[in-house]
Amino acid sequence: MALTQDTIEQISQQLLEAERSCQPIKAISDRFTDLSYDDVYAIQSKTIDTKVKSGAVIVGKKIGLTSTAMQEQFNIKEPDYGIIIDSGVFREGQPIPRKSLILPRIEAEMAFLLRDDLQGPGVTVANVLDATEAVMPAFEVIDSRFKDWKITVKDSIADNASNAAVILGGKLTPLLPDIDLRLTGMVLEKNGAVIATAAGAAVLGNPAESVAWLANKLNEYGIALRRGEIIMSGSLIRAVDIEPGSFFRATFDRLGSVSALFK
C-alpha cells in the first residue's frame, strides 16, 4: 500500500464532500501515480464505513464495467465493484432529483437477490445460480465524483465504482430451469423511444459469471456476498446520459420491466 492512512482518510473525505456538494474533484490517479489496488479499495472502504457510522445500511453490492460496451466507453479493461447502501435505493415512480447529481448516466442491469451466502475462492456460475432466490430488472445510476469522468479503473474503485443510485423493478422471477439469462433480451426506452437493445450475454458472457467474479474478488479482502443482498451484475449496454425530465424504461424478456424518472 503506497498511501498512508491519513491520505486515505483525506481522499475519502474529499469524495464525500464532492458527493454532497456536487462539486467534482481531480482524479486521484493524476495526483498519485503509484496507486495500488489495496489503496483504492481502502479509500472505498473508508467512505462506506463513514456512511455506516452515520446510519447507512449496506443492502447489496455492485459489479461495474462488465460489458464490452462499458469497458470501451470508459477505456477500462476490467470490472470493478462497489457497495450499495439503503439511501441509494429508489423505488419505481419516485422522482430522482437530477440536481443532486453531477454528470449522471443510467445503466440497465439484472439484479440478483441471494438466498444463500457466497464466498470465494472457487465460486462458479453454478454456485451463483444455486444461491440465487430470484432475479429482477434494475437500473443503476452512475455518477463520478471526479471531474468530467476522466478516470481510470482505480479512480472508479476509490469512488465506490461510481455508484449513485439503484432502482429495482417490481417483479422477482425465480431462476426456473427454462430461463437462460444469457439469452434474456432487453429493450431500453428513453422518453418513449427505443434507444438500445441487448441480451444478458453482454455481461461477461453470463450475468451469473459476473456475480461469481465478484464473490471471488471480494474474498481477497475477506468480504462475502450475503443472504438477502441485492447484487447488481453490470450493465448490458453503454451508459446513457441523464437530463432533467428524462424517463427511462427497460423491459427484459420474462423478467418484467423497471422505470425511472428524473426531475
Alpha-helical segments (H) within the chain: 5-21, 28-31, 37-53, 68-74, 125-131, 153-158, 207-219
- At 252 the pLDDT is 98
- At 2 the pLDDT is 82
Arithmetic mean of pLDDT, 159-165: 96
What pLDDT band is residue 34 in, cutting at 50, 70 and 90?
A: confident
Q: pLDDT (tens digit, 9 = 90+) per residue, 180-206?
A: 999 999 999 999 999 999 999 999 999
Indicate the residue type of 54.
S
- At 231 the pLDDT is 98
Domain 57-261 CATH (choose: 3.40.50.300, 3.90.850.10, 3.40.50.80, 3.30.160.270): 3.90.850.10
> Who's near 209: CB < 8 A, 6+ residues apart?
125, 128, 203
- At 76 the pLDDT is 64
Q: At 99, phi and psi to the nearest 5?
A: -70, -15
- DSSP-derived letter for residue 159 is T
- At 235 the pLDDT is 93
Q: pLDDT (tens digit, 9 = 90+) per residue, 123-153?
A: 999 999 999 999 999 999 999 999 999 988 8
- Among 87, 35, 42, smallest CA distance to 60 is for 87
Decide if pLDDT at 116 tops 60: yes
Q: pLDDT (tens digit, 9 = 90+) per residue, 213-235?
A: 999 988 988 889 999 999 999 99
Where on the phi/psi map is residue 258: left (φ > 0), alpha (ψ -120 to 50), or beta? Answer: beta
- At 77 the pLDDT is 63
CA angle 95, 229, 88 (to 5 degrees): 25
- At 71 the pLDDT is 67
Arithmetic mean of pLDDT, 161-181: 94
The span from the CA of 124 to the CA of 171, in Å, is 26
- Let me know: does 38 contact 1? Beta carbons within 8 Å: yes
Q: Give percent of the chain above pLDDT 70.
A: 95
Q: What is the mean pLDDT of the chain?
A: 93
Set of cell numbers at residue 143: 455518477
- At 221 the pLDDT is 84
The span from the CA of 39 to the CA of 157, in Å, is 10
Q: pLDDT (tens digit, 9 = 90+) per residue, 57-89?
A: 999 999 977 667 766 776 666 678 999 999 999
- At 214 the pLDDT is 92
The span from the CA of 82 to the CA of 89, in Å, is 14
In this structure, how many other beta carbons lie within 10 angstroms of the beta carbon of residue 185? Answer: 14
What pLDDT band is residue 1 in, cutting at 50, 70 and 90?
A: low
- At 23 the pLDDT is 97
CA angle 160, 119, 203 (to 5 degrees): 60
Domain spans of the chain? 57-261
Q: Is the dihedral of CA 182, 183, 189, 194 positive or negative?
A: positive
- Let me know: does 166 contact 249? Beta carbons within 8 Å: no
- Cis link prior to 121 (omega < 30° from 0)? yes
What's the number of CA atoms in the CB half-sphere (13 Å) around residue 56? 18
Set of cell numbers at residue 183: 439469452
The span from the CA of 41 to the CA of 33, in Å, is 16
- Cis link prior to 137 (omega < 30° from 0)? no
